[in-house]
Amino acid sequence: MTQLPHAGKRLHEKVRTPRTRRRVPPGMSPGTLLSHPEAPRPVIQVLAFGPEDTAEQIVEEPWQVQDFLDHWPVVWIRVVGLGDSEVIRAFGKLFTLHRLALEDVLDLHQRPKVEEYPHYLFMVAEIPQIGERFESNQLSLFLGPGFVLSFEEQEETCLQPVCDRIRAKRGRVRDAGADYLAYALLDAVVDSYFPLLEGYGERLERLENEVINRPRAAEVTEIHEVKRNLLRMRRVMWPQRDALSGLLRDSTPLVSAETRVHLRDCYDHVVQILDLLETHRELGADLMDMYLSSVSYHSNEIMRVLTVITVIFIPLTFIVGVYGMNFNAQTSPWNMPELEWYWGYPVVVLLMAAMAVGQILFFRRRGWLGAPRELDKTEGNETGGAKK
Amino acid sequence: MTQLPHAGKRLHEKVRTPRTRRRVPPGMSPGTLLSHPEAPRPVIQVLAFGPEDTAEQIVEEPWQVQDFLDHWPVVWIRVVGLGDSEVIRAFGKLFTLHRLALEDVLDLHQRPKVEEYPHYLFMVAEIPQIGERFESNQLSLFLGPGFVLSFEEQEETCLQPVCDRIRAKRGRVRDAGADYLAYALLDAVVDSYFPLLEGYGERLERLENEVINRPRAAEVTEIHEVKRNLLRMRRVMWPQRDALSGLLRDSTPLVSAETRVHLRDCYDHVVQILDLLETHRELGADLMDMYLSSVSYHSNEIMRVLTVITVIFIPLTFIVGVYGMNFNAQTSPWNMPELEWYWGYPVVVLLMAAMAVGQILFFRRRGWLGAPRELDKTEGNETGGAKK
Amino acid sequence: MTQLPHAGKRLHEKVRTPRTRRRVPPGMSPGTLLSHPEAPRPVIQVLAFGPEDTAEQIVEEPWQVQDFLDHWPVVWIRVVGLGDSEVIRAFGKLFTLHRLALEDVLDLHQRPKVEEYPHYLFMVAEIPQIGERFESNQLSLFLGPGFVLSFEEQEETCLQPVCDRIRAKRGRVRDAGADYLAYALLDAVVDSYFPLLEGYGERLERLENEVINRPRAAEVTEIHEVKRNLLRMRRVMWPQRDALSGLLRDSTPLVSAETRVHLRDCYDHVVQILDLLETHRELGADLMDMYLSSVSYHSNEIMRVLTVITVIFIPLTFIVGVYGMNFNAQTSPWNMPELEWYWGYPVVVLLMAAMAVGQILFFRRRGWLGAPRELDKTEGNETGGAKK
Amino acid sequence: MTQLPHAGKRLHEKVRTPRTRRRVPPGMSPGTLLSHPEAPRPVIQVLAFGPEDTAEQIVEEPWQVQDFLDHWPVVWIRVVGLGDSEVIRAFGKLFTLHRLALEDVLDLHQRPKVEEYPHYLFMVAEIPQIGERFESNQLSLFLGPGFVLSFEEQEETCLQPVCDRIRAKRGRVRDAGADYLAYALLDAVVDSYFPLLEGYGERLERLENEVINRPRAAEVTEIHEVKRNLLRMRRVMWPQRDALSGLLRDSTPLVSAETRVHLRDCYDHVVQILDLLETHRELGADLMDMYLSSVSYHSNEIMRVLTVITVIFIPLTFIVGVYGMNFNAQTSPWNMPELEWYWGYPVVVLLMAAMAVGQILFFRRRGWLGAPRELDKTEGNETGGAKK
Amino acid sequence: MTQLPHAGKRLHEKVRTPRTRRRVPPGMSPGTLLSHPEAPRPVIQVLAFGPEDTAEQIVEEPWQVQDFLDHWPVVWIRVVGLGDSEVIRAFGKLFTLHRLALEDVLDLHQRPKVEEYPHYLFMVAEIPQIGERFESNQLSLFLGPGFVLSFEEQEETCLQPVCDRIRAKRGRVRDAGADYLAYALLDAVVDSYFPLLEGYGERLERLENEVINRPRAAEVTEIHEVKRNLLRMRRVMWPQRDALSGLLRDSTPLVSAETRVHLRDCYDHVVQILDLLETHRELGADLMDMYLSSVSYHSNEIMRVLTVITVIFIPLTFIVGVYGMNFNAQTSPWNMPELEWYWGYPVVVLLMAAMAVGQILFFRRRGWLGAPRELDKTEGNETGGAKK
């Protein structure tokens, strides 16, 4: 059972490195902003653009953003790192954002959601991280007239292509408003789920092969792992779906009709992901059943053959025991006269051989011995042929 | 265990030939059109018709379609093969189609859907392919005033009858508008699911027979395969149902009241398919349970009989062992005087025979030996008779 | 394993007599009328009545019905047998019925439904057939002003009482309109499910008794059969419920307020049937669990007792083996001097007896032998008593 | 297996005393009133009251009720026993009640419901009966302006407190209208479910204790019984909930705003009952799983110990068998010279002892013998301690 | 099996100390106020505050509260202990509260809910208690213009931070109205669920480690315990969610728009808790499956090795038995001449050694012996490596 401790050890390491995230402790005043001491210091990156031109700068202080807001059609303020609650508070003052929304930026246990405030939308999405265990980082997004203010825990690579598209004027992001930028970011996040999901799908396919051919305990752990990851992903995607469908139904003037068409596409992708998730989950459950049935089939098979061998020898051992008895043939003609017969020994040996052969034939015909496997083989082929 | 590797090998081959479809990589600008290098070059087939006449032509360039659109009541442009994104882009320009819809034509991971755009409807359906594993090809359909523009990955035989009906003026397709044509195509797609589903139903019936009579490991694999195919089919049919029900509820002027009646019929068929799917899935799950119970019943039966045989001989072997002991009868009258008795041996043999018979009778009465099977047989008949 | 082949044979026979129904092949023009060559020729029975009088006639041709329609308040045209599509077409022309509805009359794979057309309602219901396997025949019904046109595959006995009530002027059917007649027919169909359902309920009760007392493989097959029948019945009743609830919500002028009250009652019955169905299905699933647990309990019990017997004799056999060794007592005083002792043999026999008794007591106290069963018995009675 | 037949017998007795209820046979005219020949004759109890005074009388004929209706603010006509359909018909005429509602009074297979008729409400509730098996009797209730007409199968004790409250002028029932009386009756019915449900809860707690400590087959039957009772209760409570929520939403003038507040409370109780039901049902399902796992754990434990004992003795028996062979030492120095050695026997005995000890140590270290149980014990305590 | 009785004992103690809560017995007049004899006497704590100042006092009689209500913007009357129904009745009179709401304060079996009365809102929440078993105490809350009246069974520590915030003027509670205070209390209650839930999560992680490495029966009990606690918590949180969502949708003037934003946040937290609950429940179910599969894997492994050992020795024992037979070699040259051969004994010993080695090799190659475990180990590593 060496592979199981191994699997266990792997899990144990995960337990020893818990997530550093901290929820606001119960009893705190709602809207309290608490940053994590170990979280990286925020870097404020400003990316301002219009159809003609773009400007990029890393600013030190939130108030420096104001200048961009005054001169550019769309300004994307990208804050990476949540290590300083003062910065978040300053942005809150600058854009008059609600304290609860600001709290949600720092409290990293949020579900994906879209909240409508009078002058802006607040969105939360979860960006999947690559790793053995499904984890996600939070992306918080404020969408107001002419600006998108985004907060990431660490620099997320899946948002990079959007930056590049702005700089290179690829796609229509430069020509559209802030709402399109927000959509483009959400879309990038949602699309980053597909490779992960395909990875899980391939793992399940591989596991299925293994389970059928050679069921091993390590597979249970792995199937369980995949199932748990799918479960975690589902927990993130369901609220994402609700948030997007709410956004599609709402009539906020911050999102234009054209962007709504794009959001519908993004919503479609989320629904696709959920579809795949559910299918994978069902396959995982089926796999577990197949594993159990495969293990029990193999196990029964072996035990049966072993027992048959025992059963063949038990009566023979009895017979040789009979002729090992020390009855005194001298005191009575009834006391084991066979021992004195001329053909005594050969007859007993033949008798035992006949018994063994008889038993083997009997078990074979009943399909208790190897025979059914031979049978299975030919029938398996027949079935395979009949299926075509 | 020969049939299992066999089944495994079959599965393995499938894994080695993955689907050549490719999703737009995450991070691409939405609305990017990417065609597959290995996909066949598009062939543009134009089928124009009115109540009186029809015209058919294979055109080289999308703009050549314009002529037909100007002169015929209904024009069906059937594009087969998606190997050239330029062709799709040209049609997009010709009919002013949305970039996202065009992207969906090429990105073959779409769920069936109906999207309403200002001047046209965009529909996606999945055409089932015949094969061991349930796969489907995408049919993308634009329905506008006076035209239907359809895209197929490869020429689908299930759409052929619609062509034939147009040519032969069978049914009312020639007399109705483009909306009826779109309906006729959807209907043809939906109806092509029925033979597949019936095939699965028959396979389940056959498997049930086999599982009851002679449960074998190959059946697990096959049941699992059918279940997985049903799961995949369900993943396609649920959104198909939603799409059709949305189309029925919507009040787009592109679909006439008369065609809506037909769509309701088509919707009914989809619901029937889903009904059958769910029933088959439940039967599949039940079958798995029956298999397990059948295997464990047979296995227990065999092990019990084998163990009973062992148990009958174990005490007998002990007894013959007793009389094989070498106690010196000379040194004491208590040392195995039986060995010297006149009737010693016959008494022991009879004693052992009595023990064996006693055990057999005891096990028989308790129903641990073959007896219960005899009993079952007669009772099974009684039950069978009582049921009538 | 004799009862299993038997059960299998029964199933096999069912498979050999598949339903003769045929779905319109995919690709046919929608609204195509195809009758079954083997289906019985239609018999057209006209039953016209008013509060005062009734008239009955079997007509040859559909157009002969017109005369009745002109002179009687309510006319029930009952067509039995679907062997001639011409007759259906003629009725379609006479009452200007939609082609799709006519197609549904002949294509016997419909789910129960109610479809509203401008001048008439089209209803489909399924009439359960008595038999081992749940099957149902289709009843198609057109309800228009002053007429009910019904189509049956064969003469259904469950509609007979409605005929009798019309003839004998029992109930209010003679005083009410065509809508009440349609309701009366639906009600008769729905009520014919109750006896079947009660039959299944009783079978489940009987099976429960058997499963607890003496679990046998034949019961798995029967439980599975009942579950499958319930599944099939559910597939028919769910759409029936939806159809009726739709009819109750709709505001078609063809159904009077008074009849709506009656339809609500009919709807209640369908919901009751579905309630019972679900309860029975859950009982069936529980029964399967009980069967498995019962089988495994019995099996474990037997194997344990058998193993205990083996374990008692194994050490004894070892001991007698020891004294069967042929060490030469002459060559050494250490070589098995026991064999020469005066009390050697009795001591060994007593030792073995003591061992056997010790083992039995040990196993008994641990509850591994028959003892727990004795214990169970008394406790079972106590529990039984305590429960009261 | 003595407790199982016992349980079976108990079930059998139940089967032999089926419910005497009879559904109107299919095919009867809707609205037909059929009373049960064995049902008790109805007793008509009139309880009229106003804020000031009350009057009580047992009347012979329904028309005698009219006098009370004319002179008292609220009249409760309580009919106990359904043995005479004439009485029900007479009440139907007196209050102009719908025939279908009257049929439902007699046809005791109704689900709880509330039906609104133009001048009165018709309610059906189910009163739970105390007993091993969950059964319920029907309470039918007509609520009109100034009167409540209730029908019971037999005198229900759970309604008695309402009578007492009217007589003693406790609570506000005397000051309120007929709607409050109807509510008070429904509330009394709903509250009578709580003690039953608590009984099931306690039984499940007790069963859990037993299943963990000493899993026995009798518990399967009892868990199954509780689960089935919960299932039956749920079948009654779900429609009760729907009926009450419908009543709350409806705007019938027969129910005052104040009574509606009370009905909301009653609705809350029903929802509580359903909550508890579902929780208990899940606990029941878990219990079944625990039982199976507990049985299989115990069983495996025993089999393992027994097999280990066998495995220890099998090689020893082989060795003593070796020295029981009769090779002639005289014919060859290679023929078992050990038998002649001086230390031959002691060496063999020591060898066998060493083998036995070695095997025991090996199995112990692998945790195959009793050792893991000792280990478990201490660990169990550690775990228990760690949990605090 | 020592740890199981231990677990059982723990459970038993719980059963012996049932909850002292009492439901109003069925049949009581609705709105009856019954206090528990053993419940602590109520302590009435008044906390009045405005933006400027606060006042605190413990009053003896409810009417003394009036003075505060007249002079302060917001008054929180916190009643701790429900031992005197007179106090509750007096408050009911003072604030003209509905009798049913007052009954719900004392009847501690309420589900969380929000009820709207004309001049006030009545809310019920459940405060989780720390302990092995999930239990919760009821918090009843009346929110009227300018006052919050709360009832607790005992002083709840989770409400203390709200008191502190009022006293210290932290957060905006002092500046806002009574509705914000009510929200702050609800929020404190909801947040107190998170630590519990995280505790369950950690327990499940630990159990998973243990189940994979060393499955023991104690874990079944613990998994079951966690699952049951999650079930109980879910029963409390679902109605809490419904209550909050109802409050968000309602348009009561008692709750300001600003507070509604905060309530939405609180609602989000409840939904998060439910999400986690469901995920944990699924993990718990999976864990149970893994436990069973792990136990059965280990068990099969052991039984197989043991059986293989038996099977190796059984034929050898037979062979030595053969040469233990006492056939008289003198009477016939066919009677066991081997015994007289020069190489007889060595040949037999070598034969047996060859047989044993052959069997071991055969079983090894088939993977029935220890070999597959060695194999597993290396493969496990390969798999582990392949996964990266």
| Inter-chain CB proximity B29 and A262 less than 8 Å | no
pLDDT single digits (tens) E77-104 = 999 998 888 999 999 999 999 988 998 8
Residue B58, chain C, CB below 8 Å: the answer is no
Residues in chain A predicted with pLDDT less than 70, given as ranges, are 1-25, 27, 369-388
| Inter-chain CB proximity A323 and E326 less than 8 Å | yes
- Give the separation between CA D60 and CA D69, rounded to whole angstroms: 16
The reported pLDDT for the residue numbered C23 is 58
> Which residue from B316, B324, B315, B311 is spatially nearest to B366, judged by alpha carbons?
B311
In this prediction, residues B109-132 reach a mean pLDDT of 89
**What percentage of chain B carries pLDDT values higher than 90?**
31
The alpha-carbon gap from A72 to the nearest alpha carbon of chain E, in Å, equals 32
> Which residue from B334, E13, A50, C376 is spatially nearest to D214, judged by alpha carbons?
C376
Residues in chain A, overall count = 388
Evaluate whether C173 touches C156 at the Cβ level (below 8 Å).
no
> Which residue from A243, A250, A259 is spatially nearest to A74, judged by alpha carbons?
A259
pLDDT single digits (tens) B322-352 = 888 888 777 778 777 777 888 888 888 888 8
Residue in D31, D32, D292 nearest the CB of C293? D292
Instruction: Out of A109-118, A208-217, D145-154, E57-66, pick the least confident.
Output: A208-217
Q: What percent of the residues of chain E are helix, what percent strand, and what percent coil, each to the nearest 5?
A: 60, 15, 25
B363 CB contacts (<8 Å, ≥6 apart)? B308, B311, B312, B369, B371
| Inter-chain CB proximity E303 and A303 less than 8 Å | yes
Q: Which of residues 310-339 of A touch E (CB under 8 A)?
A: 310, 313-314, 316-317, 320-321, 323-326, 329, 336, 338-339
pTM over 0.90: no
The alpha-carbon gap from D128 to the nearest alpha carbon of chain E, in Å, equals 13
Domains and CATH numbers, chain B: 32-291 (3.30.460.20), 323-387 (no CATH)
Q: Which of residues 114-143 of E touch A (CB under 8 A)?
A: none
Going by the DSSP 8-state scheme, the letter that residue D136 receives in this structure is E
Residue B350, chain A, CB below 8 Å: the answer is no
In this prediction, residues D60-78 reach a mean pLDDT of 92
pLDDT-derived band at D23, boundaries 50, 70, 90: low
Is residue D118 pLDDT above 60, yes or no? yes
The tokens for C136 are 């149902």
Query: What is the residue-averaged pLDDT of chain E?
Result: 82
The neighbouring-strand residues paired with B369 are: none
Burial degree of A183 (CB within 10 A; 0-12, 13-18, 19+): buried
Residue C227, chain B, CB below 8 Å: the answer is yes
**What percentage of chain E carries pLDDT values higher than 90?**
31
Residue D165, chain C, CB below 8 Å: the answer is no
Residue in E26, E31, E221 nearest the CB of D158? E26
In this prediction, residues C367-376 reach a mean pLDDT of 51
Residue in B218, B309, B321 nearest the CB of A380? B218
Is residue C49 pLDDT above 90, yes or no? yes
Helical H segments across chain C, by residue range = 3-16, 65-71, 85-94, 99-106, 160-168, 178-191, 193-213, 217-249, 257-322, 344-365, 371-387
CA dist B131 to B200, E162, E265, Å? 12, 66, 52
Residue A192, chain B, CB below 8 Å: the answer is yes
CB pairs under 8 A between A and B: 200
Interface test with E, best of D383, D387, D388 (most E CBs within 10 A): D383
The reported pLDDT for the residue numbered C370 is 54
**What percentage of chain D carries pLDDT values higher than 70?**
88
Which secondary-structure segment (H or E) carries A116? strand A113-117
Q: Which residues of A touch B338 (CB under 8 A)?
A: 327
The alpha-carbon gap from B20 to the nearest alpha carbon of chain C, in Å, equals 29
Is residue E14 pLDDT above 60, yes or no? no
pLDDT-derived band at E66, boundaries 50, 70, 90: very high
C-alpha torsion sign, points D253, D256, D257, D259: negative
Residue D296, chain C, CB below 8 Å: the answer is yes
The alpha-carbon gap from D48 to the nearest alpha carbon of chain E, in Å, equals 19
Q: What are phi and psi of B117, to 5 degrees?
A: -110, 165
The reported pLDDT for the residue numbered B9 is 37
Backbone dihedral region for residue B73 (phi beyond 0: left; psi -120 to 50: alpha; all else: beta):
alpha
Residue B195, chain C, CB below 8 Å: the answer is yes
B102 CB contacts (<8 Å, ≥6 apart)? B31, B33, B88, B89, B91, B92
pLDDT single digits (tens) C80-119 = 998 888 999 999 999 999 988 998 898 877 789 998 888 9
- Give the separation between CA B45 and CA D52, rounded to whole angstroms: 91
Burial degree of C387 (CB within 10 A; 0-12, 13-18, 19+): exposed
The alpha-carbon gap from A365 to the nearest alpha carbon of chain B, in Å, equals 13
- Beta strand A120-129 pairing with A113-117: antiparallel
Query: What is the residue-averaged pLDDT of chain C?
Result: 82
Backbone dihedral region for residue E154 (phi beyond 0: left; psi -120 to 50: alpha; all else: beta):
beta
- Give the separation between CA C347 and CA C14, rounded to whole angstroms: 70
* Half-sphere exposure for C167 (CA within 13 Å, toward CB): 9
Which is more confident, C279 or D377? C279
Q: Which residues of E touch D188 (CB under 8 A)?
A: 26-27
